[in-house]
Structure 1
Amino acid sequence: MQLVVARVGRAHGIKGEVTVEVRTDEPELRLAPGAVLATDPASVGPLTIETGRVHSGRLLLRFEGVRDRTAAEALRNTLLIAEVDPDATPEEPDEYYDHQLMDLDVVTKDGAEVGRITEISHLPSQDLFVVERPDGSEALIPFVAEIVVEIDLEEQRAVIDPPPGLIDDRAARDEVADGHSVASRDAENAPSGEEA
């Protein structure tokens, strides 16, 4: 199975290094020197990582055969793709690969159907499940322990305990009708950043 693990950014310096936008929770494994990565577009690769280092909070990579700024800049926006065993799991028990979470049914603790995960959105502060509701609308569920209380891969479901208004529009309308500000309520319940 192939997974996108990074996107090449701009060139850094004059010796062929590039910045990368990391899209894996295991960069030390997927983006280590010696790793051979497929690319999108395919005509650019495969690329072999020669060196990697962190500079000012950003990962910098140099690929074999890329020796100057011009060659590095030509790689900009290239997606780096790793071959991953589909049965492999992350080392941490609370972590999951995106492909493990895709298409899981989402239900509340009391068993009410919410929808199906169609996308995982990786934001700087937290990850979000993009859930397609039975009526075709979408719900965004923060992937934090306070809300996503269980991931059951055998049963292919994610169990959530959503705060009022997260998935139930009626609860939000009731709060407005009661004279409470939905925006301030949402701010009080904003989840803290936690990456899974």
Structure 2
Amino acid sequence: MVIGKVIGVHGVGGELKVQIISEDPHRFGRLERIYAGLEDSEPVPWLLERFRLHKGHALLKFAHCSDRNTAQTFRGYLLHVPLEEAIPLEEGEYYEYQILDLDVWTVSGEHLGKVVEIIDTGANDVYVVRGAYPGHPEILLPAIESVVIEIDLESDRMVVELPEGLL
């Protein structure tokens, strides 16, 4: 499960600046090992030496990364934890990886496309749906109970009630 993405470096000592993709930013401080890799590669374990928060990002120092030049080579890497180490969710809550790529259908049976992105607005998430609805290459759906009627992970399917005037 992805919990962060390396977006840059901090200082000259090899710290990585990480975009946090987790409900709990402090979880990094409880980890000894984080798995890292590019999107199309198998993640490998990295030993975490130090963690701190700075201006909304995590700054992480790993054992194998001791200077700025080395740190820069890891820009774009995704940071993972095994699913068994994931933070348990409440009933009706989902991890982002579970929502991405779901097929989205209206309650009347129209296929709208797939969830390709999740935008965090602060108030609620917004699902970006692309691909199937004529004349609307992209649909932004608020992730609220009155809109998202059902999520069926076994069928890779989401059913929505479109707010009036959305299309």
Q: Which residue in the other structure is 1:144 paired with?
A: 144
Query: 1:114 aligned to 2:114?
Result: no
1:62 to partner: Cα distance: 0.9
Q: Which residue in the other structure is 1:79 paired with?
A: 78
Partners of 2:16 and 2:79 lie apart in 1 by 12
Partners of 1:114 and 1:49 lie apart in 2 by 44
Partners of 2:88 and 2:130 lie apart in 1 by 23
Q: Which residue in the other structure is 2:19 paired with?
A: 21
Q: Which residue in the other structure is 1:53 paired with?
A: 52
Partners of 1:124 and 1:56 lie apart in 2 by 18
CA contact (8 A) 2:6 2:79 kept: yes
Q: Deviations over 1:165-191 (max 9, x none)?
A: 22x3xxxxxxxxxxxxxxxxxxxxxxx
CA contact (8 A) 2:20 2:57 kept: no
Structure 1 residues 131, 40: CA separation in 2 closer, same or farther (over 3 Å shift)?
Answer: same
SS at match of 1:71: helix
The letter for the 2-side match of 1:5 is I
CA contact (8 A) 2:37 2:78 kept: yes
Q: Select the structure of larger CA radius of gyration.
A: 1
Q: Which residue in the other structure is 2:68 paired with?
A: 69
CA contact (8 A) 1:121 1:130 kept: no
Structure 1 residues 124, 66: CA separation in 2 closer, same or farther (over 3 Å shift)?
Answer: farther
SS at match of 2:69: helix
Partners of 2:62 and 2:159 lie apart in 1 by 42
SS at match of 2:144: coil
CA contact (8 A) 1:119 1:129 kept: yes
Larger strand percent: 2
Instruction: Count residues in correspondence.
Output: 162
SS at match of 1:151: strand
SS at match of 1:139: strand
CA contact (8 A) 1:129 1:140 kept: yes
Q: Deviations over 1:112-136 (max 9, x none)?
A: 3233424233345433242432559
Q: Which residue in the other structure is 2:93 paired with?
A: 95
SS at match of 1:100: helix
Unaligned runs of 5+ in 1: 169-196
CA contact (8 A) 1:38 1:46 kept: yes
Structure 1 residues 18, 107: CA separation in 2 closer, same or farther (over 3 Å shift)?
Answer: same
Query: 1:161 aligned to 2:158?
Result: no
1:20 to partner: Cα distance: 0.3
User: Quick one: percent identity of the two aligned structures?
Assistant: 32
Partners of 1:51 and 1:38 lie apart in 2 by 16
**Normalising to structure 1: TM-score of the pair?**
0.63
Partners of 1:108 and 1:117 lie apart in 2 by 12
Q: Which residue in the other structure is 1:179 paired with?
A: none
